[in-house]
Structure 1
């Protein structure tokens, strides 16, 4: 029998896994005297590669495939290269979501129906207020143009369409004609008109834009007079009637506009070699349109007090794709805006919208704007991009969840999860009640949007780059990635995720040098992200490590980033070991299942059996019917209290909480519900976590009482768990090694664990309290302590703090001495202080500065009063990481 293979791991990844496997085998067998059997090699390798199967399943497969496996295992053991065995399809089952796939026709029907779902929210009002304030001071060029920069599915098109009910609006969609699947449809005649205008000089393209605007305004006057002959009481009545007219006759309207624009160019009314003077012709026509509009309205609005004409260009990336022949660095979009920016003095505003890959071009930094070189600086003003679109508006701001009405199963239903976040998901759901498979395909739809498979690739981009961005998007959706805004490549990548991978733009500063963005809590998107992360064969920690090395991810707070990854992977593993495929990550798991996935097999029984100080009930009994549910993390604000109300909100949305960085007591809160009853505050508790990535051990304690986690009037005991994740502990030898530019395989994180139950102490912190505290203190970051850490060296690399000395590419003594002489930092060494005759200032430690070397005092803290904490050290291994078990009541 021939066994199928499928694998996408790199050679380096296989080498790392081979070393880890041989180390594990070496721990079980003394290879100098004995060798494991082929069946034992198979079981050990299978457990490491595919931990979701049982020993019986591994054995049955071995029996059924004995001949082929014997050949592969003999060859692998001889060479100590296990790639051929590890790559078997049996050990690499597809983790892709199993869903029904809606047809393209059904997809389009659902998209059109979503457009007709009743508009909810006040984003259009916020936009109009912004435009009116902008219009009052729109005197400089470009001050009348507002780019709307936002991620897909946030309701940009619906927002401006709704605003058109209140202001006379000229809607325009310039999506390329070949992108036929989009909705609303493209105004294809206009796109073709501008495409034809790019085949010459820049001045000719500009003349085509002038002709277009003059024709747009004059045709609007004709259409208004021939189709809407009555007067209107208010500008809003006229705007609404005009919007209805264009919904019926938009194709006819733009056909007339393009025909008139071509005529203007053909007869020379708009000269091909035009300058500033021809813009006056378009301005004059715009003023005529404004006057006609106001003459038709009985209630008069003073000039400058309100917007008279609003133009929006939807799918504006279509114009950026039209490169002008004379100068490939210029495109029709820049020419279009150059003309629109000069249409001042008649209460005209223009908006640009796009969902594709050119948002950075739509809102360029001030210092690189094409027109800035010819316009005096004091006459140019670029409006800050508008990002304030609707989020969490399913019920128009009313409550989606009421305590004691829904269970854990209820909040995990897709029909509930789609109500959170951007309008894309709930409008699609509401509009597809009678459309085949669309609702059943919702997770796959979110997954496709997240990884960008439906996106048109930008010029020069590769499918591989899109795939990398899709994986980064999935990781960011779940564990809060922050980009390094000081690096151009990082800013570019962040913008790409906004443009094509559902990352939401929070704000674009006025200087436009970078964007503030992120993935806020969207349960349906987090579910899709979980499937993407778990379909990836490359370890996620390697992705993070590479992203940090490449300068993409902000290096700050790496300990918390690694902690979020470890906790997320433990949750996913718990889902996979608790339920059969297809997995639904939003359904939640028991606390015991989560801890079993989080803690290494060697020590999980100690954790589950630990008791609170002053009590006897083991953890596994106290949390016997308790569940956690988190598919993603959310960033807590500085003033947002972490308590059981927050835990209730978290478990409803399926989110854990990352506490503000400057909070001292806890860093992470994972919500727990004590039972499967209807969700309410009275059954909520949590896992409270501190993360320490310093290279020295610490005596730490978390108290729910200190942070007021439980209500003051609570009378019923609720157990809770605290975890100290001391991730950064490395031996002095490890730190010294890391000062050299070593490979990841040479880096080290502590690997041995000592455990000891907490001791009873008669101190004030061990007094009995209402809420039992179960403490887990974990030192180190390796597979010895964590059940989801496979390659401790990569984790050590990500966690290690490196300064300018450590990152220097040449580590020869004289090179480093010369670098120190430049004094990037002041240290006690000869290079910094040879100029002063004080020997103490020139001291060194074995040739290395005593910078960050940790004290080699790893051991077991006896938890208790921080003033009287004792520490027990195992003399046999002062370097080993620790799981310190011993829970107390606060």
Structure 2
């Protein structure tokens, strides 16, 4: 029987005709196709895997144990397929076949939520582009072309997590030069958008199938893969030249310049189509590319000597000729100035990085780089897009600038928030600040764009969509370890040791961002930035799947490579976050309900200070806490009166590295994102700060802090007075030190969390009021001081029993297990292009600083 690999490209197209026309007709008629025994194995070989996966049990009864001989007509049809090198006999059999009757079958209605998501994605893809990520990418391509030598490939890895706008930035390169986008990602992943260019992908992955079981010399395999890649590029260049010529002829009446032509090509390639299929123009283009590549490849193996081989005349081979003709045509039609003139973007890097057969040094990517080295004298560049950090490793033997192959990681962040500044005049209220719309517009551009483009159904369920994106898929009953880690890293600032496998998994599928890569080693520095919508999604996942966060965190910290800080600050932040989440549940706290208007539905995400304390403090101590008077201010009102209008909006924590962002105006920026502050390690006397809005009107002057100190000493109760005295909001920099005693400031709630205190002293302790008057260090503000001693149910309400207490004790013992690499801003600052990159990084690292700096401090 003829081998499967010898079937031609036309056969694959017949499969697609079968998939798109014949199968739907069979479904509508209620037919069921029976495929049994060895026939199933043959169909697996004949049909692309994604087609078989799409059919599933809806159309195929796959009973391998049944006798294939009972279906001689099918066996004959398959034999004719191989004999005639055509699929038509099989298609004829499938059309005429009547399988076992299973009754009338109808296609199920599409899931409304899924359909709404797909519609939003398609609509968002065509919205106006925001931000400068595409320009940064283009400038990086220009820089690498200037820096690279003849021995360096004109290939730039663009590596970043999912949902960060990489594909859209690649499309927008057409504003700067001629751009051709191709997506070769695995189409079985239903999250892939834009759709896979199947003709291009099918051609490229053929080389993996050819050598799956082959015992062939490395030189022969490398030569074959090289021919495979070069014939593909040759077909691309020739078909692109033809397509541009045709487009130019269609617009002979207009004065179409080079960039106009680039925009027209991009529009023709990307407009129209569906969630799963591109438009006809794009599909025909890649079909033509592959047909030409198939022909060239067949000629090469037939012995025609002028096609590229492993060893060939670089200057005179057809790949060079096709590329030069394309460049010459671009130059004749207005291309000029600094290179590149053409950028090819390949989305779906994992298709290129797989090793061919058992050969670790042979891949499509390695041969693509070799081909681009041969084209080093032409203004052509390739950007390979993916989430896989291993897609490109620096060559330790090459002698070139370390920047020449350093992955590009810059993506847009907070671009929608920057376009809608929060006025500092009290015109906004917390329900708007914490609204669904505001959440979607804070962070990566994905959710803001989808929210703007989506219908009402999508907008109401955007948090559920974000939850699915964060988890990568909806599990049946329980979350995997990686999924719980993805939720934890969004809620808490966990650190990873360099080159950590779990960190790479979070980047690849769970939306953790790469903030920097070391130019020498490409080791990444990653972060889960402040994104309130993703934090809501993580909270939703925890609630939906009943995740025990303390136990989940402990399970990850017990393995090497993950750190929760060195002071117990992250574990303490978890305790406070769990109390806030408990207060948000209807049975415990907020009486407010979600508004129907997603522009003003944020109140249900917030809690009052009293609701927070009722969820944090054990029942036997809560009345004493609420009636607590301020230290040194016996004539002042009790805590519950002082904070009666105060509300907290917090659903995640972030670590800051600059104590100056603890100022009141920056705390306002944190409040705008629903984020609590984990202070720098050298900040004396304070570890955590929770911003509190003291009045309904949102303005920076209405912000007061809850200051938290984590005291690790076992005898912390003996020095409680000194600890509280050092927790001075003026000394810390929250309030302006110059105004101490001159203006009235909001009262301050100060908490000391001392987990190491012995069991005998455990509980909630109140600081006794002094009768000696106001101390110099405390002058200028009223403080309500609460001391949490130990880790027992009598200390925190969220610790329900002694078993939970033991989990927390283990968490506090696990600290300081890894260090982070430092950012390489100083080195990168030598290059002008990095100014925009550093700014983009800072937008991700410290969005609250930009929020604070953007405020109009003019009072109404």
1:174 aligns with 2:187: no
TM-score normalised over the length of structure 2: 0.71
Displacement of 1:608: 1.7
Aligned counterpart, 1:706? 731
For the residue of structure 1 that corresponds to 2:619, the secondary structure is: coil
> Quick one: distance in 1 between partners of 2:761 and 2:422?
47
Aligned counterpart, 1:263? 295
Q: Aligned in 2, Cα 1:140/1:658: closer, same or farther, shift over 3 Å? A: farther
Aligned counterpart, 1:603? 621
TM-score normalised over the length of structure 1: 0.69
Aligned counterpart, 1:385? 407
> Quick one: distance in 1 between partners of 2:239 and 2:684?
65
1:498 aligns with 2:521: no
> Quick one: distance in 2 between partners of 1:270 and 1:594?
78
For the residue of structure 1 that corresponds to 2:459, the secondary structure is: coil
Q: CA contact under 8 A between 2:517 and 2:525: conserved in structure 1?
A: yes
> Quick one: distance in 2 between partners of 1:144 and 1:258?
23
Q: Aligned in 2, Cα 1:784/1:279: closer, same or farther, shift over 3 Å? A: farther
> Quick one: distance in 1 between partners of 2:191 and 2:700?
46
Q: Aligned in 2, Cα 1:195/1:432: closer, same or farther, shift over 3 Å? A: same
Displacement of 1:350: 1.0
1:569 aligns with 2:588: no
Q: Aligned in 2, Cα 1:499/1:586: closer, same or farther, shift over 3 Å? A: farther
Q: CA contact under 8 A between 1:210 and 1:278: conserved in structure 2?
A: no
Q: CA contact under 8 A between 1:207 and 1:271: conserved in structure 2?
A: no
Displacement of 1:182: 2.7
Displacement of 1:133: 1.2
- Matching of residues 612-627 of structure 1 within 5 Å: 612=630, 613-616=632-635, 617-627=637-647
Aligned counterpart, 1:420? 442
Match of 1:307 among 323, 340, 345: 340
> Quick one: distance in 1 between partners of 2:356 and 2:764?
69
> Quick one: distance in 2 between partners of 1:620 and 1:380?
59
For the residue of structure 2 that corresponds to 1:640, the secondary structure is: helix
1:237 aligns with 2:255: no
Displacement of 1:512: 4.1
Write out per-residue CA displacement over residues 22-73 of structure 1, whole angstroms, 9 at most, x where no aligned residue.
Answer: xxxxxxxxxxxxxxxxxxxxxxxxxxxxxxxxxxxxxxxxxxxxxxxxxxxx
Aligned counterpart, 2:747? 719
Displacement of 1:550: 0.7
> Quick one: distance in 2 between partners of 1:409 and 1:310?
45
Q: Which moved more, 1:237-246 or 1:153-162?
A: 237-246
> Quick one: distance in 1 between partners of 2:629 and 2:768?
9
For the residue of structure 2 that corresponds to 1:103, the secondary structure is: helix
- Matching of residues 48-67 of structure 1 within 5 Å: none
Displacement of 1:111: 1.0
> Quick one: distance in 2 between partners of 1:619 and 1:528?
33
Aligned counterpart, 1:105? 115
> Quick one: distance in 1 between partners of 2:173 and 2:308?
37
Aligned counterpart, 2:372? 340
Q: Aligned in 2, Cα 1:554/1:247: closer, same or farther, shift over 3 Å? A: closer
- Matching of residues 463-478 of structure 1 within 5 Å: 467-478=480-491
Q: CA contact under 8 A between 1:631 and 1:654: conserved in structure 2?
A: yes
> Quick one: distance in 1 between partners of 2:306 and 2:625?
82
Match of 1:251 among 260, 263, 283: 283
Displacement of 1:102: 3.6
Match of 2:812 among 787, 795, 799: 799
Aligned counterpart, 1:593? 611
> Quick one: distance in 1 between partners of 2:353 and 2:685?
50
1:578 aligns with 2:615: no
Q: Aligned in 2, Cα 1:802/1:208: closer, same or farther, shift over 3 Å? A: closer
- Where in structure 2 are there 5+ consecutive unaligned residues? 1-109, 212-220, 272-280, 595-601, 818-860
Q: CA contact under 8 A between 2:565 and 2:816: conserved in structure 1?
A: no
Aligned counterpart, 2:858? none
For the residue of structure 1 that corresponds to 2:662, the secondary structure is: coil
Q: CA contact under 8 A between 2:610 and 2:643: conserved in structure 1?
A: yes
> Quick one: distance in 1 between partners of 2:521 and 2:714?
38
* Aligned-residue RMSD, C-alpha: 3.2
For the residue of structure 2 that corresponds to 1:788, the secondary structure is: coil
Displacement of 1:422: 0.9
For the residue of structure 2 that corresponds to 1:439, the secondary structure is: helix
Aligned counterpart, 2:466? 446
Write out per-residue CA displacement over residues 297-332 of structure 1, whole angstroms, 9 at most, x where no aligned residue.
Answer: 1x743xxx32122111012223446x5345478543
Aligned counterpart, 2:391? 362
Displacement of 1:395: 5.5
For the residue of structure 2 that corresponds to 1:164, the secondary structure is: helix
Displacement of 1:287: 2.8
Q: Which moved more, 1:588-597 or 1:535-544?
A: 535-544
For the residue of structure 1 that corresponds to 2:381, the secondary structure is: strand
> Quick one: distance in 1 between partners of 2:660 and 2:777?
29
Aligned counterpart, 1:850? none
For the residue of structure 1 that corresponds to 2:511, the secondary structure is: coil
For the residue of structure 2 that corresponds to 1:687, the secondary structure is: strand
Q: CA contact under 8 A between 2:407 and 2:522: conserved in structure 1?
A: no
Write out per-residue CA displacement over residues 607-661 of structure 1, whole angstroms, 9 at most, x where no aligned residue.
Answer: 2222112223211121122111100112223153313222322222211111222
Displacement of 1:272: 8.9
Aligned counterpart, 1:781? 791
Aligned counterpart, 1:831? none
Q: Which moved more, 1:779-788 or 1:535-544?
A: 535-544
For the residue of structure 1 that corresponds to 2:312, the secondary structure is: helix
Aligned counterpart, 1:743? none
Write out per-residue CA displacement over residues 53-100 of structure 1, whole angstroms, 9 at most, x where no aligned residue.
Answer: xxxxxxxxxxxxxxxxxxxxxxxxxxxxxxxxxxxxxxxxxxxxxxx9
Displacement of 1:718: 1.5
Aligned counterpart, 1:135? 145
1:659 aligns with 2:671: no
- Matching of residues 535-554 of structure 1 within 5 Å: 535-554=544-563
- Where in structure 1 are there 5+ consecutive unaligned residues? 1-99, 456-462, 732-748, 805-890
